[in-house]
């Protein structure tokens, strides 16, 4: 059986340029967007870098900030979270490299 002669098959043929429609993504509210795990992990590592003065934690927070920026879905909510994580990461690095030395450690 061949469907070459039917008029309805020609109207539904996706190969016809006249029937092609551009894809419109469905509207999703900001509350229904998936969680940005990279941004959340960046905040956690950034806070740990500031509070516990771990250099590695601050560097990991910057890496997760970059990942979160590259995968940003919602500009308003994600940018707030990424900017906060970046602030914590930068504060941690500045306090680690330019602040007073921790007791019991030597700089060198």
- Decide if 41 is inside a domain: yes
Give the Cα-Cα-Cα angle 72, 64, 46 (nearest 5 degrees).
120
Query: Does the pLDDT of residue 67 top 70, yes or no?
Result: yes
For the stretch 11-53, pLDDT in tens is 666 677 777 788 888 887 767 777 889 989 999 999 999 999 8
Q: Are 74 and 51 in contact (CB under 8 A)?
A: no
Output the six-digit token pair for 74: 């919602």
Lowest mean pLDDT among 52-61, 74-83, 88-97: 74-83
Residues spanned by the domain of 47: 33-96
Across all residues in the chain, what is the average pLDDT?
82
Q: How many domains does the chain have?
A: 1
- Can you tell me the mean pLDDT for 82-91? 92
Q: What is the pLDDT of residue 66?
A: 94
C-alpha–C-alpha distance, residues 31 and 45, integer Å: 24
Higher pLDDT, 15 or 89: 89
Report if residue 13 sits inside a domain: no
**Verdict on whether the full-model pTM lies above 0.75:** no
């Amino acid at each position: 059986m061949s469907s070459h002669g039917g008029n309805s098959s020609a109207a539904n043929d996706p190969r016809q340029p006249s029937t092609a429609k551009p894809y419109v993504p469905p509207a999703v509210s900001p509350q229904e967007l998936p969680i940005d795990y990279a941004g959340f992990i960046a905040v956690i590592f950034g806070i740990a870098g500031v509070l516990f003065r771990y250099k590695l934690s601050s560097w990991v927070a910057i890496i997760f900030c970059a990942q979160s920026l590259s995968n940003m879905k919602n500009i308003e909510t994600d940018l707030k979270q990424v900017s906060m994580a970046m602030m914590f990461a930068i504060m941690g690095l500045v306090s680690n490299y330019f602040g007073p030395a921790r007791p019991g450690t030597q700089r060198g």
